[in-house]
Amino acid sequence: MKQLVLLALSSLLSFAVTAAEVPELAPEGDAAAGEAKSMVCAGCHGADGNSATGGFPNLAGQHASYIADQLANFKSKERDNAMMYGFASVLSDQDMLDLAAFYSAKAPKPGVAQPELAARGEQVYRFGDPDRGVAACAACHGPQGKGVASAKFPSLAGQWAEYTLTQLNSYKSGARQNAMMNGVAVNMRAADMEAVASYIQGLR
């Protein structure tokens, strides 16, 4: 009897090990399916992911991995936003991947910086504010603001300054939680946030 139980146990164990060794297929989104699912999003984010006003972020050209992550964060309320919770809470994991594939393949429309803010904005973007311990944005988001997909550093280039400023303030207050960005924003001066947000809108 004891031997039988042991036998059953060991075969169970070896099954578990084999299952764990099978490489998991990387989940993938279907951009065409995503387009069909994006109708409900278009009113705010634009039919092609370029929104009409700075109250709504552009999604066009954003990394798929980052978009899918944020949708999951809205759904779990890890990123607490009442408006997006309503839309994200009804999405399945596959819906999120499909929508992410659709928007990431769209071309972002270039924006412009306010000329009087561009010089200080560029300084903060490229070098941070060493006196206050603010890291250079370029170190993670790249010299052209395109981010790094594999590291889930989002693309910022061309994003509305209004939206960027809102997010920097949310990271500073802790309303939006991310260890890296909370550390960057906590010591930033309000004027520098405004300048760098404007510079980012002009990045392409």
Residues of this chain that bind ligand HEC (CB under 6 A): 40-41, 43-45, 56-57, 59, 67, 70-71, 81, 83-84, 87, 99, 124, 128, 134-135, 137, 139-141, 152-154, 156, 164, 166-168, 176, 178, 180-181, 184, 196
Kindly calculate the radius of gyration of the chain based on its CA atoms and give it in whole angstroms. Answer: 21
d(CA 57, CA 45): 7
Whole-number minimum distance, CB 142 to ligand HEC, in Å? 10
Q: Are 99 and 67 in contact (CB under 8 A)?
A: yes
As measured in angstroms, the least distance from the Cβ of 116 to ligand HEC is 18
Of 31 and 99, which CB lies nearer to ligand HEC in the complex structure? 99
Q: How far apart are CA 122 and CA 143, in angstroms?
A: 10
Nearer to ligand HEC, 6 or 180 (CB): 180
Nearer to ligand HEC, 19 or 89 (CB): 89
User: Measuring CA to CA, how many Å separate 72 from each of 41, 67, 82, 92, 198?
Assistant: 16, 9, 14, 9, 28
